[in-house]
Structure formats: structure tokens, C-alpha cells
Amino acid sequence: MSGVSAHLRWKRAKLKIAIHAFDGITMFHLATPLLVFGEVSRLGLADDWTTEVFSESGHPVRSAEGYLIGEVSGPEIAADADLLVFPSWLSELPDPSGDLIRLVRESHGRGAAIAGLCLGAYPVARSGVLDGRTAVTHWGGAKAVAAKPHAVEFNDSALYIDHGDVLTSAGTASALDACLHIVRTHLGSAAAAAVARQIVVAPHRDGDQAQYIARPLPDPDLDGPLGRTIQWALANLDQDLEVESLAAHATMSKRNFTRRFKEVTGLSPARWVLGRRLDDARQLLETTNWSIARIAESCGFGSAVTFRQNFIAAYATTPTSYRTRFTSR
């Protein structure tokens, strides 16, 4: 599957979402996708998003906290779902049943997207739909998951990784970010921001070729040289932001600056700057009628050609197509 066709799997206006529940699931893990996707309908952002919970047997399940969850359907509801979500998995990492593996494979084969949140990445990995690719799961379980038989490389430092057809996320709070990412991919940043405000979390906007988000940007020490340089860079994305310029602004050696910068942000200076420029460009595409050349210059890409090349590499679509899809004006 090409990167473009995979990416477009997320982009459906109508979305039927099937969420898997099992005996021992925590209420928080199950509630996360229900909360985020439910807010889409409650806020009137889309009239055609439906969310259902199913168990493998079709019977009620008991949560880890001891509550009986009775309103669940059977796996047949996943037969025509556009998005199949595994919000968690048991910490002992039992192998998914053959029926569940077939459900994932068949759903994926007919074009449904698959999301494995937190330890829910494990049954997704065991299904084979991620073979030869990278995934992420809760850092505390990453080593145990990696030791299990599958053909997936697990990254224990990412926030979430979206391959277009399959998405996996890290620990509990990261599932919120991953679900907001799905909302943003379908409905645009304004919709994701509205949901984020309603549930009082910050929407994350980083991404590269596989829609890979390394980690949320922590607030650095804004009184220190690194923090001041980060704030300066954000306010001057159209300027020369090579690592030498950033290190000079922070009055640090290039080597020390690069090391400290990666400790704080999780990214190299070059990747961080590119991500921020792309973030800024997406916002301008969504909220202004500026020309592509003006946006490229404003965001520090140097030329419209360079901007377009970087944008396509990051999001598998052109700036013009993106604007048509996600404009909030």
C-alpha cells in the first residue's frame, strides 16, 4: 500500500467506530476514545460519527475496577466499521484469540483503519497488520511486548505513530492525543481544538512522514537560555534557524546545545524547527487565504518549492489539497 492511499484511509467524512472491551479493562482506557469521539457528536462537529463498544463474546464485561459494563455488542458490529479501536489489553499480554486476529485482518483488508492504544498495540501487532513497521505502546510494557512473537519494531519513546491504515499510541494520556489526532485528520484542527478545549487537554500537532509524533513538547525553563531560545525560534520561524544560529542565541556550544535541546524536546533542533514550521504552515493554510509562496516565506521554507516538498513528505498531500480539505474559514 502506498503512503498516500494509506493516509487517506483516515479521511472519511462518515465514520463508524467500533471499540473493543474485555474483562479486566480499566474504565479510563475504555472511556478515552468514547470521550473524544463522543465529543465530536455532542459539539455538533459531525453528524455522522457513531461509536459502539463490543466484546469478543458479545456478553457484558467487568472492568478492572469491578463495574459491570452491560451495554456491549458482539464482534459483528465491527464488520462494517471504518475504525476499529483496541483501547488497552491485559498487562499479562495473553495472545489474542484466532477469532480476534481474523477480525483485525479482515477489517484491515477491507479498508478499515485500526488503532491500538496503550497495550492495545499488542493484539494489533499480533494480527500481522503492522509487520515490518514501527509501533509504540506504553513504555512500561514495551520491553515485554517486544519480547513476544511478532514482526513489529516497537519504539518506546514516541507519543503515537500513525501509518495511515494503522495507528498505535503510548500510555494512557497519549491515547487522548492519538484520538485527537484522528479527529484532526478527519475534521481539521479547529474541530480537534474544540474537542481539546471541552475536555481540557492540549491538542498536539507534530508530525513527519508517517504522522509520527515523537513526544509532547514540555515547557522548558523559560528563564534559562534554552527556554528563551525556544521562544525566540517560535517567534522567528522565518529567520535562519540552523543549529549554529540557535546555539549562538543560547550562548552555548553547538554540541552542548544539541544535546540539551534533544533532552528537553526529544527531537534534534533541525527536526523540531521543521515541525514547528509545518505546524505554522498548516495553521495559515487553514485560517488564511495567503498564497502558497507567502506562507512558505512566512514559515521560513525559503521557496514555495521547498515548502511543497517538505509538506508532501510530511503529510502525503499537497498544501493546496490540504487547504481544500481542512480550511476552517
Compare 231 and 155 and report the one with higher pLDDT. Answer: 231
Give residue 6's pLDDT. Answer: 35
Q: pLDDT class for 99, splitting at 50, 70, 90?
A: very high
Residue type present at position 187: L
* Res 110 pLDDT > 60: yes
Considering the domain architecture, whether residues 40 and 184 belong to the same structural domain is answered as yes
Percent of the chain predicted with pLDDT > 90: 52
Residues 69 and 202 in one domain: yes
Q: Looking at residues 268-289, what average pLDDT do you find?
A: 89
CATH number of the CATH domain containing 239: 1.10.10.60
Residues 133 and 253 in one domain: no
For the chain, the maximum distance between any two Cα atoms, rounded to a whole number of angstroms, is: 63
> Domain check: are 163 and 233 in the same one?
no
Q: Are residues 19 and 99 in the same domain?
A: yes
Q: Name the domain boundary from 193, 213, 233.
A: 213
Query: C-alpha distances in angstroms, 259 versus 20, 82, 243, 268, 269?
Result: 41, 42, 11, 8, 10
Is the model more confident about 26 or about 148?
A: 26
pTM, rounded to two decimals: 0.62
Question: pLDDT at position 69, please?
Answer: 94
Cα 281 from Cα 295, distance rounded (Å):
6
- Mind listing the pLDDT tens digit for each residue in 256-265? 999 988 877 7
pLDDT at 160 over 90: no
Same-domain status, 257 and 296: yes
- Together in a domain, 156 and 287: no
Supply the range of the domain harboring residue 231.
218-329
C-alpha cell at 63: 472492568
Tell me how far apart the terminal alpha carbons of the chain are, to the nearest angstrom. 33
Report the pLDDT value the prediction gives residue 329, as an integer from 0 to 100: 44
| CATH number of 204's domain | 3.40.50.880
pLDDT digits (tens, 9 = 90+) for 127-147: 999 888 888 888 777 778 878
> Do residues 74 and 108 share a domain?
yes
How far, in Å, are 10, 124, 325 from residue 13 at the CA level?
9, 24, 11
Confidence of residue 150 (pLDDT cuts 50, 70, 90): confident
| 233 and 144 in a common domain | no
Domain boundary among 213, 229, 245: 213
> CA–CA separation, 28 vs 31, rounded Å?
5
Nearest C-alpha neighbor of 155 from the set 87, 95, 210: 210
Band (pLDDT 50/70/90 cuts) for residue 47 is: confident
Residue ending a domain, among 150, 179, 213, is 213
User: Residue 218: which pLDDT band, with cuts at 50, 70 and 90?
Assistant: very low
Segment 286-297 mean pLDDT: 92
- Number of folded domains in the chain? 2
- Average pLDDT, rounded, for the chain: 84
Q: Are residues 119 and 191 in the same domain?
A: yes
Average pLDDT over residues 200-219: 43
Q: Are residues 32 and 142 in the same domain?
A: yes
* Whether residue 185 is found in the same domain as residue 224: no
Q: 3-class DSSP state for residue 71?
A: coil
13: pLDDT confidence band, cut at 50, 70 and 90? low
Question: What's the whole-number mean pLDDT along residues 80-96?
Answer: 94
